Amino acid sequence: MTKELRLTSAYSKTITTTLLIVCLSLFINLSAETKRPVRAKNGMVVSPSTLATDIGVEILKNGGNAVDASVAVGFALAVCYPSAGNIGGGGFMVIHLEDGKSTTIDFRERAPLSVHKDIYLDEDGNYNPDLSTKGWTSAGVPGSVAGLIYALEKYGTMRLSEVITPAIKLAENGFEVGYDLANHINIFNEDFNEYEASKEIFTAEGDSLNEDHFLVQKELANALKLIKENGRDGFYKGYIADLIVKQSFDNGGYITHKDLQEYNPVERMPIKGNYKGYEIISMPPPSSGGIALVQSLNILENFEFAKNAWHSSDYIHKTVEALKKVYADRSQHLGDSDFYDVPAQWLTSKLYAKSIFDKIKTIATPSDSIAPGIPVTYESKETTHYSIVDEFGNAVSTTVTLNSSYGNKIVVEGAGFLLNNEMDDFNAKPGEPNQYGLIGGEANSIQPGKRMLSSMTPTIVLEDGKPYIVVGSPGGSQIITSVLQVILNCIDFNMDIQGAIDMPRFHHQWYPDEILFEEFGTTHDVISNLILKGHNIGEADSWIGRVQGILIDQENNVIFGGTDSRAFGKAVGY
């Protein structure tokens, strides 16, 4: 089959005529340029939930700093954004403080201490993906509660009772789910019906939820009250811990009291880079995001992109060629740095980036000729991100996840919260092909107490030492490319934050060797030129990333917030 025929097949759902694509692409560009970012003078909260955003802004208005607001939003999202907001999962937080200090907090889930690298293999050595994605065997030790409380106690100014109470009230009093959340929950109706506690919360006695359904979560409210009264011990010891351990044991899971009591978040030095005079502050391993982002920017810094070159075939070609090498390196070198010696300094060096740049030609390099790797498990798109700045000069970028939408779909009976299925983010069997094509190796193999690799990329960009861009996204392996393109849109193409976020995006992750575009996200002419350069075009994607971002004009003391039009979030400032 020729590439032209493959193109027709891949885009049959979205491309009918060249005129249609051109018109729709122009419409996307126009709408992105005319939708104005939210303006503020004091502080800004941008999150995927209107309810959580409003809670964060109230914290700022009441004198809290960006960390206080981030913790409040984190707990609120566990109530009103259950697909990814959580207390049963984990995440990463990047912080820049008014005194100039930058730091990160790693509250990624950990593998239980009783696991080993072959737990998801049968007696013949075959990988069983159901064990790492479904049921209690898929759950890692949750880190969100410990991480949020650590951030609050070290860098916040308010009491835990003040920042968690809005989430408790939201869970106890309930809220109308609305059209979008109801539809999303209903996608997984069959899964929720497999577990009585999940069925009780996320179905209408087994049936689908209506958009006017009022979601009350009394057990979750009680769990949050225990955390409010006892801090991290309210989750990792006592009543909630007993529920987790008993239900895990009864259902073949691995989490023990020792796993919970020994869990601790880790404060890590951020990954730092410099792109055309702007300082990049991002997340270190076990996130791959910071290293991959800085490495990408280091390569692309060698190109000069004219403003009218945005989304041209030349711009896409050069970016894709850089991303192929970045994702190839990710496969071989990135994992939990507490267990594996990650060569971060080399990967993020300008010298290494220049050597990659020197190999980029006008014709595409086949992925097969770029450092072979080992396909492994899929990284879900269902994370969530929020960005916050305050009036004092603090900025926080936070990404949290349960891995799959609603994690493993198991609500802990008696505690009302969903569990993660993050064990699937390890390499269950190096060498096992996967339909999604994300690549990895021994660096991310399963080990007791180890944190699984992630693509989450919470990032803060500094200009003259002060916050300029605060950004992040969900999207699994597409997070890195989403954050990269928003930063390029702001710095290289001088877009405002809302336009930078809303513009169409593309994605390449080395394997499979294909460029993904969003539906109606480019033109036939651009695709034709890319094919002539030797690129393969994949099936159109409904969305690539759902970015929540802030841009600060320090000179004029104006904060701009933008929430991705691909989703249903909210930016609010004051």
Radius of gyration of the chain, Cα coordinates, nearest whole angstrom: 22
Q: What is the mean pLDDT of each run of 10 residues along the chain (574 residues)?
A: 40 38 41 74 98 98 98 98 97 98 98 93 87 95 98 98 98 97 97 97 97 97 98 98 98 97 98 98 97 98 92 96 94 90 94 95 92 52 92 98 95 97 84 45 88 96 98 95 98 97 96 94 95 95 95 96 95 97
From residue 115, give the alpha-carbon distance in Å to each of 72, 218, 337, 426: 33, 33, 19, 12
H/E stretch holding 186: helix 178-187
Residue 130 CA to residue 138 CA, distance in Å, equals 8
First-to-final CA distance of the chain: 57
DSSP 8-state code for residue 307: G
Do 97 and 238 form a contact (C-beta atoms < 8 A)? Answer: no
Q: Would residue 383 show up in a list of annotated catalytic residues for this protein?
A: yes
Residues 6+ apart with CB under 8 A from 164: 71, 72, 75, 224, 227, 228
CA 37 to chain centre: 22
Q: What is the pLDDT of residue 125?
A: 86
Residue 564 CA to residue 484 CA, distance in Å, equals 15
Q: What is the pLDDT of residue 3?
A: 39
What number of CA atoms fall less than 13 Å from residue 197's CA on the CB side?
A: 18
Q: Which of 383, 457, 459, 563 is catalytic?
A: 383
Q: What is the pLDDT of residue 16?
A: 37
112 — phi, psi (to 5°)? Answer: -60, 155
Please choose, from the candidates 282, 292, 283, the residue with its C-alpha nearest in 3D space to the C-alpha of residue 330.
292
From residue 40, give the alpha-carbon distance in Å to each of 438, 501, 572: 40, 18, 8
Q: What is the reported pTM?
A: 0.92
Residues 6+ apart with CB under 8 A from 221: 168, 171, 172, 416
